[in-house]
Structure 1
Amino acid sequence: MKVKAIHQRLAELWIIEQSRPLTTAEALEQQHCLAANAAYVWKAAQYANLSLIASMTNDTEWLHEICMDMERLEMS
């Protein structure tokens, strides 16, 4: 699994926060990373659900489109 920049930065901010309070700028950055992470995870879950539906209905063309969307999301 490729680690996305937002996930790496979230980890860095979490580690920093264990030793000292975050600065205002760091706290804002953390909120932006959390929002981006939530959007990414939500979209990935949507694609997973759609992929299951496409598979259960044997709609291979739709499944192929969903898989391409999932790959684009992972690469973004």
Structure 2
Amino acid sequence: MLTVHWRLAELWTTQQGRELTEQEKAEWSACLHYNAVYARKLSALYNLSWAAYATRDVEWQHEICERIERLEHDGQLK
């Protein structure tokens, strides 16, 4: 789980008890934006992995799986 996901959970829990401050609302929005970008990147990589599997390109699939692992671990493609 990425730090942004922990913060989203924290903000969601906070808003269950009280209204979020303007700063917290800005953080909420930024976290949701980051999460959407992250989900799109991860989805694209899963789709590429399927394409590599379907074409039996094992080397390409391994490269994509490494990218998926990096993205899931630290949230960044390097």
The residue that corresponds to 1:47 in the other structure is 45
* Structure 1 runs of 4+ with >6 Å offset: none
Tell me the TM-score normalized by structure 2.
0.90
Alignment partner of 1:22 out of 13, 20, 23: 20
- How many Å apart are 1:6 and its aligned residue? 0.6
CA RMSD in angstroms comes to 0.8
Distance in 2 between residues matched to 1:48 and 1:42, nearest whole Å: 10
Instruction: Please give the TM-score of this superposition, normalised by the length of structure 1.
Output: 0.92
Is 2:2–2:73's contact at 8 Å kept on the other side of the alignment? no
5+ unaligned residues in a row in structure 1: which ranges?
Answer: none
Quick one: distance in 1 between partners of 2:18 and 2:73? 33
Cα shift at 1:4 = 1.2
1:74 is the counterpart of 2:67: no
